[in-house]
Amino acid sequence: MSTTKSGSGWVKISTPEDLQKALTRMLNKILMSQDPVAHAGRFASLANAWVNAHRVELEETEWAEIKKRVAAVEEQLAKK
């Protein structure tokens, strides 16, 4: 999948950040539509998905930090 020059084509999603960008794009399209209220249910669903993607991104960041700390502790223990 790739993005077209106009930006209206498929978007490759391989990270939570990519998913957030795609969801943001969809949310903005709803907000810019002639009758955004008619899409309120879809907007709420997409907003929930965006929050969940953000949560996953934060969890990945936290896990990366934990892994760094464990590696540092293991390195200190190996030196003893």
Contact between 1 and 14 (Cβ < 8 Å): no
Does this model's pTM top 0.75? My answer is no
Dump pLDDT digits (tens) for 30-63. Answer: 999 999 899 999 999 999 998 988 888 888 889 9
Classify the phi-psi angles of 46: left when phi > 0, otherwise alpha if psi is within -120 to 50, otherwise beta: alpha
Helices (H), 33-80: 40-79
